[in-house]
Structure 1
Amino acid sequence: MSVVIPVSADWLTLRAPADAAARSTALARRAARLMRPPITVHDLGSGTGSMMRWLAPLLPGPQTWVLHDWNPALLAHAARESAHDADGAAVAVETRVAELGHLRPRDLHGASLVTASALLDVLSADEVEAIVRACVDAGAPTLFALSVTGRVALDPVDPGDRVFQAAFDDHQRRTVDGRRLLGPDAPAVVAGMFRAAGWAVRATDAPWRLGPAQRSLIAQWLDGWLAAAVEERPALREWAVEYARTRSAQLTAGDLRVVVHHEDVLAWPS
């Protein structure tokens, strides 16, 4: 089954600063200690290359990044962006157009590290298992960042928060073309798979903390969050319109703050 993740370069660009602020530098530095130069990083679902631009400066060089994504336009965008290692040297970049649902060990040949960001929750358990198996067979430490956990916190609190969160989480676990997505279960599932393979695992919270300085991101996130909740539970449509109106007024006034929880997971051979 094909894995097609519909994202745009504009959305990825908008969220990139929040992603960079949320990812765990502690796990990144722990990953750096597991490798010896030269380093080859395989980035799965690389999009516009934001993971590379964030992580490369935290790792020694020389570095080669192999970017895997189903979308050739996003890969072309990523290849045009520059990234530098901890010594300030430019990293080499290769791109591979590929679907991620059937990753094979040979696809990661020579990897020093495997990374992904905001990917696991849109995959099924079988697809994540294939990725874990490929990482284990390659013997490459793996850093999976920014998998949603389903928990959000909005300030001021509203009675609709928990209702829309629950509907959104159910939507994230929906079945698409016979594939049941992991959604907020993804961090625990992937950690369990690596532990079952005898690998060491560390996980940490990696929240977006959004306020008045991120109004555009909050607005787009809120639109998508409510749209998914209503798609899952159409009876919420009228309430969602009223809720969105209230939140929009708070956002315009600079009174709305949002925390969107994610989890980063690092796994390595023990």
Structure 2
Amino acid sequence: MTEPATATQHSGTIPARPGHRDVTDAAAGRRGGDMEHETTGTAFGASVIPGAGPAAPSRERDTLRLRDTGEEEPARYAPEWLQLREPADAAARSYGLLDPLRIRLANLPGRAADGLVIHDIGCGTGSMGRWLAPHLDGAQHWVLHDRDPYLLHFAAVASPRSAADGSHVTVETRRGDVARLTPDALSGASLVTASALLDVLTREEAGALAAACAGAGCPALLTLSVAGRVELTAPHPMDEEITEAFNAHQRRDGLLGPDAVTVAAEAFAEHGATVRLNPSPWRLGPEQAELTGQWLRGWVGAAVEERPELGARADGYLADRLEACAAGELRVVVHHSDLLALCRPVNGAA
């Protein structure tokens, strides 16, 4: 049982520091995102929030940890970045996938007695739960997975307290490794969710996720995977170059990047799941200028990290785009895709 959230906590404000909370901290997690690292190059400024842009390569691949070593690592996703993008994420997610999801969940055996058990993989600050829980009826227990203990703390503190029909919502947290997710780890799960995760998986990891969900017989709602397409107003001659370089950066070290949804859809289909894909674009205008500025720095920074020869021209390009953003003249559409996989139930349910 979790303690009630205060009004400030429930609004999504980042707490000053982790504190005591009666939640379970067990095992498994990772937070995905459109851009993973902190920008360090002077061309793009030190003001980029960690999570919005690239950083110098580390010895460990900056996606899923293959095992929990017990060693502390610096956080690669600042809560400020996750909070900044949360309204855009909420506005972008596909509502069109909710009805088929509700139909499947309504037919789960034992639901009336026990409610839903939802595993949120790479939960970050818990934005997926804050968006989805109020759209589903019935009691819900969310199992929040991430490797960052501070993000887990924030996700638990700021978790929703009631479902669409007023039923109670509870949470627990699990810290560690999601790359070894198995059907056993998802035993009893009603649903698996993730946001901005698929694009930072490898083909093998996406296959393992699909196999785990299929083995547990639970549906998966995986939102906000980058699609590799960006539209900026007004068009600029460098738009295509930056986009191509950024997409190449996203595919580094075998990561799926903009191929993620296609690969994941194929993996789920191979396990007999019915898969639906819907677009979920960010639509950024003057009201989202702060997010747009951070996204621009990270987007261009990743492109230059991939293709350093773009550096000098990219400096001017970024300056022009940031000037237009500050003037309220820039509008950006960052394309994403949402995936709903309705895996075959393992117990004969509808």
Same fold (TM over 0.5): yes
Size of the alignment, in residue pairs? 266
Q: Which residue of 1 aligns with 2:186?
A: 108
Q: Does structure 2 conserve the Cα–Cα contact (< 8 Å) formed by 1:42 and 1:115?
A: yes
Any unmatched runs of 5+ in structure 1? none
> Is 1:151 the counterpart of 2:233 in the alignment?
no
Q: 2:130 aligns with which of 31, 46, 53?
A: 53
Q: 2:270 aligns with which of 196, 213, 221?
A: 196
Give CA-to-partner distance per residue, 1:7-34, whole Å, 9 cap, x none: 1110000000000000011212321211
Deviation at 1:269, TM superposition (A): 2.8
Q: 2:205 aligns with which of 105, 123, 127?
A: 127
Matched residue of 2:185: which SS? helix
Q: Which residue of 1 aligns with 2:282?
A: 208
Q: 1:78 aligns with which of 139, 155, 177?
A: 155
Deviation at 1:252, TM superposition (A): 1.4
Q: 2:295 aligns with which of 216, 221, 226?
A: 221
Q: Distance in 2 between matches of 1:28 and 1:52?
A: 14
Deviates more, 1:134-143 or 1:79-88: 79-88
Please report the RMSD computed on the Cα atoms of aligned residues, expressed in angstroms. 1.3
Alignment of 1:1-270 (within 5 A): 3=64, 6-36=76-106, 37=111, 38-83=115-160, 84-175=162-253, 180-269=254-343
Q: Distance in 2 between matches of 1:59 and 1:129?
A: 27
Any unmatched runs of 5+ in structure 2? 1-60, 66-74, 345-350
Matched residue of 1:94: which SS? strand
Q: Distance in 1 between matches of 2:133 and 2:250?
A: 30
Matched residue of 2:104: which SS? coil
Deviation at 1:70, TM superposition (A): 1.1
Deviates more, 1:42-51 or 1:104-113: 104-113
Amino acid at match of 1:95: T
Q: Distance in 2 between matches of 1:269 and 1:209?
A: 31
Amino acid at match of 1:73: Y
Q: Which residue of 1 aligns with 2:13?
A: none
Q: Distance in 1 between matches of 2:205 and 2:79?
A: 24
Bigger Cα Rg: 2
Q: Which structure has greater strand proportion?
A: 1
Matched residue of 1:152: which SS? strand
Matched residue of 2:337: which SS? strand
Deviation at 1:6, TM superposition (A): 2.1
Amino acid at match of 1:3: L
Q: Does structure 2 conserve the Cα–Cα contact (< 8 Å) formed by 1:82 and 1:90?
A: no
Q: Which structure has greater helix proportion?
A: 1
Give CA-to-partner distance per residue, 1:184-229, whole Å, 9 cap, x none: 0000000011111111010010000000000000000000001100
Q: Distance in 2 between matches of 1:200 and 1:82?
A: 30
Query: Percent identity at matched positions?
Result: 51
Deviates more, 1:82-91 or 1:200-209: 82-91
Q: Which residue of 1 aligns with 2:24?
A: none
Deviates more, 1:79-88 or 1:10-19: 79-88
Matched residue of 1:255: which SS? coil
Q: Distance in 2 between matches of 1:224 and 1:126?
A: 27
Q: Distance in 1 between matches of 2:78 and 2:181?
A: 23
Runs of 4+ in 1 over 4 A off after TM superposition: none
